[in-house]
Amino acid sequence: MLPDQADLDRAVALLQAGELVAFPTETVYGLGADAANPAAVSKIFAAKGRPPDHPLIVHLACDGGLEQWARDVPNNAWELAEAFWPGPLTLILKRSDAVPDAVTGGQDSVGLRVPAHPLALALLRAYALAGGGVAGLCGVAAPSANRFGRISPTEAGHVRDELGAAVPLILDGGRCEVGIESTILDLTPGAGRPPRLLRPGRVTPEQIGSVIGVLPEIVPRRMNDGAPRASGSLAAHYAPATPMRLVTTARLPEVVASLRQTGRRCAVLCHVRFSDDVEAAHAWRRLPAEARGYGRSLYAALRELDQTAADLIVVQETPDTPAWAAVTDRLRRAATGSGGGSSTA
């Protein structure tokens, strides 16, 4: 989908006026504002209902922007930017003086990425060409364009449904190709210590390791839980309003049958074919049995099932392999956030 120049011009004018613009990235839709303008950034928090201590990612047109927003940029950051940008990798670096507290939640670091969606890149480049925002800085702060704790949007319509009235312009770039949020890698531990993987995503630890020669330390879930550093790392996140539960493949037929017997409406999300009698659930969605295709459609499917007036969304557990790590992470958090529990029992 080619960007429409009139939409781009309007988007740039809104950003420069300190207003919000929602835009597609290759991962999920973002809710953007001039990252150098604290008043504009505060509108993001208000629209999302997000606590002010949760930091935002600053989106850049190219890796040259790193030096505007970060200081003491280590070599491995340049190597990773070269290898993966534009793309679904966010680097956490020491912040420069240009970064307002409103963006970082007062932390000494900042999250940066160059998104790969053509419309996002066209917007960021047009913004830079037009002189950028406050102080001539060219960064767009953008979290996922959903209400805090809810499912990230992967289509323009999702943003309209959830935030419509609060956002003056939503750029429509179709469905997001990756479908789950970027990998977040913390490069602040410093020389001699491996970077830390704060959120798994399409860019895997192995891919990162092959570029910088050291595997990132995977921050265990329990260390991460509740830490305001990364709201996407809270145990409860990305959640539908309907309670959701993860269930093993072996137990799924039995769980669906017993829910049906007790008269409860059950919506099922799976990735293999079950027998017709099992699939006679209230609502049923089967996603591709490989992680990329599954991740691409996951959030749209969860939104759909959330709107079927089911009492419970039952999700078939995904394989416990590296390829599925990011998807499984989102499913566990969604189950926890929904109040349905992540129990496989």
Question: Which stretches of the chain bind Mg ion, using CB under 5 A?
Answer: 144
Which tokens is 121 given?
């890149």
Q: Please say which residue, 37 or 90, places its beta carbon nearer to ligand TXA.
A: 90
Task: In angstroms, give the least distance from the CB of 164 to ligand TXA.
Answer: 18
SS3 69: helix
Residue 110 interacting entry, from ligand TXA, Mg ion, none, C-beta within 5 to 8 Å by type: ligand TXA
Q: Please say which residue, 93 or 315, places its beta carbon nearer to ligand TXA.
A: 93
Neighbour order of strands in the sheet with 312-316: 244-247, 312-316, 266-270, 283-286
- Residues in contact with ligand TXA by CB under 6 A are 25, 27-28, 30, 54-57, 88, 90, 92, 104, 107, 109-111, 115, 142-144, 181-182, 184, 198, 229-233
Task: In angstroms, give the least distance from the CB of 39 to Mg ion.
Answer: 22
Task: In angstroms, give the least distance from the CB of 120 to ligand TXA.
Answer: 8
Task: In angstroms, give the least distance from the CB of 12 to ligand TXA.
Answer: 18
Q: Are strands 169-170 and 244-247 parallel, antiparallel or unpaired?
A: unpaired
Q: Which H or E element spans position 113? A: strand 109-113
Task: In angstroms, give the least distance from the CB of 231 to Mg ion.
Answer: 7
Q: Which of 51, 52, 50, 11 is nearest to 32 (CA)?
A: 11
What is the Cα gyration radius of the chain? 20
Judge contact between 235 and 333, C-beta under 8 A.
yes
Alpha-helix runs per DSSP H in 232-290: 252-261
Q: Which of 308, 318, 246 is nearest to 281 (CA)?
A: 308
Residue nearest to ligand TXA (CB): 143
| d(C-alpha 114, C-alpha 59), whole Å | 6
